[in-house]
C-alpha cells in the first residue's frame, strides 16, 4: 500500500499530460463542426469525383446513408468496387453507381459527361472533390499536356462542370460544390504560366507546393465566377475547405521517414479523419438553409473569409483562359 502511494505522484505526472492533450484534441474536433441533418435525399442524384477513397468515399457514404443516388466518378473502377464494398458494410441505403472518369484526360471527361446525360434524367449536385498533389519537380503532366495539379484539380473539373451545366440547370434547384483548400491562401496565379515552366526554379525553393496551392486558388476563383454567371438559374455554387484530412492525396510526395516522425505531433492536433473532413462538403451539398448564399467559401461547416485579397478581374480572366485551354464555348450559360 505504501509503495503504491509513493508511485501515485509519478502516475499523475504521466497521466495528466495525456488527459490534457486528449481534451485539447476533443476541443479541436468540436470546432471542426459536424453536419447532423439526416434529411432524406431519396430521388436526388449526386456526382462525387474521386469517391473511391478519403473524403470522397466518406462523402459518398454519408449521401448513401441519406438514401441518395451517388455516381462515384473515378479513374480506377477496381478501386471504386472496393470502396462500394466498404460502404455497403455500414449502410444498405441509397444507390451507388460506379462510372469511370479520368480528370487528366479531356477525352475521358467528355465521354463521362455524355454517359451521365444518357443514363440520368436529372443531376442535382456535382461535387468536384478529386484531387492530386504532385511535387512541382516531378514534372508530371496530364494527357493533354498540362501540369498535373492544375490539370486535374482545376482544369479537368472546369471542363466537367461546363459539360454538365445544362443538366444541372434542368435539375434546379441544384448545386455545385468545389472542394478547394485553405492552402489557396498560399497560391499564386500567372495566366501566362499556368504550367509553371517559366517560374519553376524559383517556385521549387518555396516551402509550400506552389503548383498545388495555385490549383486550389483557381478553384476558388472558379466558384466566384460560376456564382456570378449562374445567378438566377437555380444552381448554387460553394467552395469548401475540408480541413487537414487523412487521405492518400500525398502519396506522390517523396517524404523521408524522419519527416513523417516530425509530422506526428502536428497530426495529433490538426489531422482529421476522412469522415470529419466530409462534413462541410455534406452540408454545402444538402443543407437547404444555404440556398441563396452562392459563391461563398465554407470551412468547419461555417462560412469562411479568406485571408487573401481576391482580384475581381481574375475571376473572368481565369474563366476565359480556361475556356481557351479546353477549347469549348460556354453555351450552357447562355
286-319 pLDDT, tens digit per residue, is 999 999 899 999 999 999 999 899 998 999 999 9
Q: What is the pLDDT of residues 73-84, one digit of tens each?
A: 999 999 999 999
Q: Which of 38, 82, 73 is nearest to 164 (CA)?
A: 73
Predicted confidence at residue 258, as pLDDT, reads 47
CA 304, CA 302: separation in Å to the nearest integer? 6
**CATH of 42-325 among 3.30.70.20, 3.40.50.720, 3.30.1370.100, 3.40.50.620:** 3.40.50.720
Instruction: For residue 245, give the DSSP letter.
Output: B
- φ/ψ (deg, to 5) at 178: -105, 115
Instruction: For CA atoms 285, 290, 294, 297, give the dihedral sign.
Output: negative
CA angle, corner 208, sides to 210 and 201, nearest 5? 55
Averaged confidence pLDDT in the chain: 85
Is 212 a residue of the active site?
A: yes
Q: Where are the domains of the chain?
A: 42-325
Q: What is the pLDDT of residues 258-271, one digit of tens each?
A: 444 454 555 544 56
Instruction: Classify residue 228 by burial, with Cβ atoms within 10 Å: 0-12, 13-18, 19+.
Output: middle
Q: What is the pLDDT of residues 14-24, one digit of tens each?
A: 555 555 545 55
CA 250, CA 247: separation in Å to the nearest integer? 8
Q: pLDDT band for position 28 (50/70/90)?
A: low
Q: Which of 133, 212, 221, 298 is catalytic?
A: 212
SS (H, E, C) 62-110: HHHHCCCEEEEEECCHHHHHHHHHHHHCCCCCCEEEEEECCCCCHHHHH
Predicted confidence at residue 134, as pLDDT, reads 84
Count of other CB atoms within 10 angstroms of residue 142: 20
Residue 37 Cα distances to 59, 135, 297, angstroms: 14, 38, 20
pLDDT at 207 over 70: no
Number of residues written out for the chain: 334
Grid cell at residue 94: 441509397
CA angle, corner 309, sides to 304 and 310, nearest 5? 90
Q: Which of 19, 51, 207 is nearest to 125 (CA)?
A: 51
pLDDT at 225 over 50: yes
CA 29, CA 278: separation in Å to the nearest integer? 13
CA 269, CA 36: separation in Å to the nearest integer? 23
CA 220, CA 43: separation in Å to the nearest integer? 29
What residues pair up with 71 in beta bridges, in sequence order?
A: 47, 97
Predicted confidence at residue 209, as pLDDT, reads 85
Amino acid at each position: 500500500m505504501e509503495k503504491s502511494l509513493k508511485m501515485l505522484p509519478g502516475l499523475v505526472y504521466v497521466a495528466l499530460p495525456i488527459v490534457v492533450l486528449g481534451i485539447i484534441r476533443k476541443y479541436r474536433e468540436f470546432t471542426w463542426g459536424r453536419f447532423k441533418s439526416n434529411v432524406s435525399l431519396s430521388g436526388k442524384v449526386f456526382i462525387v469525383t474521386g469517391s473511391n477513397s478519403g473524403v470522397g468515399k466518406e462523402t459518398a457514404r454519408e449521401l448513401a446513408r441519406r438514401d441518395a443516388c451517388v455516381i462515384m466518378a473515378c479513374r480506377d473502377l477496381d478501386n471504386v468496387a472496393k470502396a462500394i464494398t466498404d460502404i455497403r458494410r455500414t449502410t444498405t441505403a441509397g444507390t451507388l453507381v460506379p462510372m469511370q472518369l479520368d480528370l487528366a484526360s479531356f477525352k475521358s471527361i467528355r465521354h463521362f459527361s455524355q454517359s451521365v446525360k444518357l443514363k440520368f434524367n436529372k443531376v442535382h449536385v456535382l461535387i468536384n472533390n478529386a484531387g492530386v498533389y504532385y511535387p512541382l519537380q516531378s514534372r508530371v503532366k496530364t494527357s493533354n499536356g498540362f501540369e498535373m495539379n492544375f490539370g486535374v484539380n482545376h482544369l479537368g473539373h472546369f471542363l466537367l462542370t461546363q459539360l454538365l451545366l445544362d443538366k444541372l440547370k434542368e435539375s434546379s434547384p441544384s448545386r455545385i460544390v468545389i472542394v478547394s483548400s485553405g492552402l489557396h491562401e498560399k497560391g499564386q496565379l500567372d495566366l501566362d504560366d499556368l504550367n509553371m515552366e517559366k517560374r519553376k526554379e524559383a517556385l521549387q525553393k518555396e516551402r509550400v507546393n506552389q503548383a498545388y496551392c495555385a490549383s486550389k486558388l483557381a478553384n476558388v476563383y472558379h466558384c466566384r465566377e460560376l456564382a456570378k454567371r449562374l445567378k438566377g438559374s437555380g444552381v448554387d455554387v460553394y467552395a469548401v475547405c475540408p480541413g487537414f484530412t487523412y487521405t492518400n492525396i500525398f502519396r506522390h510526395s517523396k517524404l523521408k521517414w524522419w519527416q513523417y516522425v516530425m509530422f506526428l505531433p502536428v497530426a495529433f492536433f490538426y489531422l482529421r479523419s476522412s469522415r470529419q473532413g466530409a462534413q462541410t462538403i455534406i452540408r454545402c451539398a444538402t443543407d437547404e438553409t444555404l440556398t441563396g448564399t452562392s459563391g461563398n467559401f465554407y470551412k468547419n461547416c461555417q462560412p469562411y473569409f479568406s485571408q487573401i485579397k481576391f482580384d475581381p478581374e481574375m475571376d473572368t480572366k481565369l474563366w476565359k483562359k480556361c475556356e481557351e485551354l479546353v477549347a469549348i464555348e460556354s453555351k450552357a450559360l447562355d
